């Protein structure tokens, strides 16, 4: 009987060792990778290379987007105010934009209204896409569009509560592999691009290739900046 007990103990020890090896080789690395994938660092505003796109005084470099029924666009108190339109009001960058491997940062505020106060339209190489903040009644955040589905109906859809007259820091990163976005310190988008198509809803066409718009809402933006992630050309 003692021999049987020793044999069982040896088998149990061997089984435990095999399980430990399996966990170490297969489970732990995947868990670690998942943790890293879930928590990428947002764009650092203290990093070098940021370029200001708004001088705080004029619309230099921008124009009011050509929306039918647009509200007034004005510079007030160091911010660009896009007054409530029927339906949309926005601004469009008039110079050549960055198109891949870049980051954007800006602050946005809903001043009045109940829908999106920042739809940031941006290039992904030759294709456009929009990051919608506060849409569909005030709380939807997501990309419009992924595989033809807009921000309220794809895998990037999330729901948030936004207060009027409060600034929110919005950060965007566009690379050849993925689109990522943060609001304040919370990551709200992490969309892979492989085997997916990006596009925009037809309503935001006047904001192409790079612009910001609101929907039946007065919104304000300030501290608009971007930076390239591509290496500087050698001299």
- What's the CA gap between 130 and 174, in Å, rounded? 12
The 3-class secondary structure across 7-35, one letter per residue, is HHHHHHHHHHHHHHHHHHHHHHHHHHHHH
pLDDT of residue 4: 47
- C-beta of residue 107 within 8 angstroms of C-beta of residue 121: no
- C-beta of residue 122 within 8 angstroms of C-beta of residue 104: yes
From the number of C-beta atoms within 10 Å of its C-beta (0-12, 13-18, 19+), residue 31 rates as exposed
pLDDT of residue 41: 87
- What's the CA gap between 108 and 143, in Å, rounded? 17
Residue-wise pLDDT for 98-132, tens only, equals 999 999 999 999 999 999 999 999 999 999 999 99
| Res 81 pLDDT > 60 | yes
Please give the model's pTM, rounded to 2 decimal places: 0.83
pLDDT of residue 104: 98
Helices (H) and strands (E) in the chain, counts: 2, 15
* Structure tokens, 63: 């124009």
* Structure tokens, 32: 């670690």
Residue-wise pLDDT for 63-74, tens only, equals 999 999 999 999
pLDDT of residue 35: 44
């Amino acid at each position: 009987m003692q021999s049987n007990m020793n044999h069982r103990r040896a088998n149990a020890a061997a089984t435990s060792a095999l399980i430990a090896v399996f966990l170490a080789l297969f489970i732990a690395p995947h868990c670690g990778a998942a943790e890293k994938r879930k928590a990428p660092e947002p764009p650092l505003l203290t990093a070098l290379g940021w370029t200001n796109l708004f001088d705080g005084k004029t619309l230099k470099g921008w124009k009011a987007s050509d929306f039918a029924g647009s509200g007034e666009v004005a510079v007030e108190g160091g911010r660009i105010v896009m007054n409530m339109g029927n339906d949309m009001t926005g601004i469009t960058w008039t110079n050549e934009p960055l198109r891949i491997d870049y980051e954007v940062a800006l602050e946005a505020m809903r001043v009045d209204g109940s829908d999106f106060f920042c739809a940031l339209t941006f290039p992904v190489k030759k294709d456009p896409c929009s990051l919608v903040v506060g849409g569909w009644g005030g709380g939807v955040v997501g990309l419009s569009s992924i595989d033809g589905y807009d921000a309220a109906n794809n895998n990037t859809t999330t729901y948030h509560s936004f207060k009027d007259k409060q600034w929110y820091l919005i950060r965007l990163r566009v690379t050849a592999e993925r689109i990522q976005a943060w609001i304040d310190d919370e990551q709200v988008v992490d969309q892979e691009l492989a085997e997916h198509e990006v596009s925009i809803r037809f309503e935001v066409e006047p904001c192409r290739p790079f612009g910001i718009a609101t929907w039946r809402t007065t919104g304000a933006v300030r501290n608009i900046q971007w930076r390239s992630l591509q290496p500087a050309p050698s001299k």
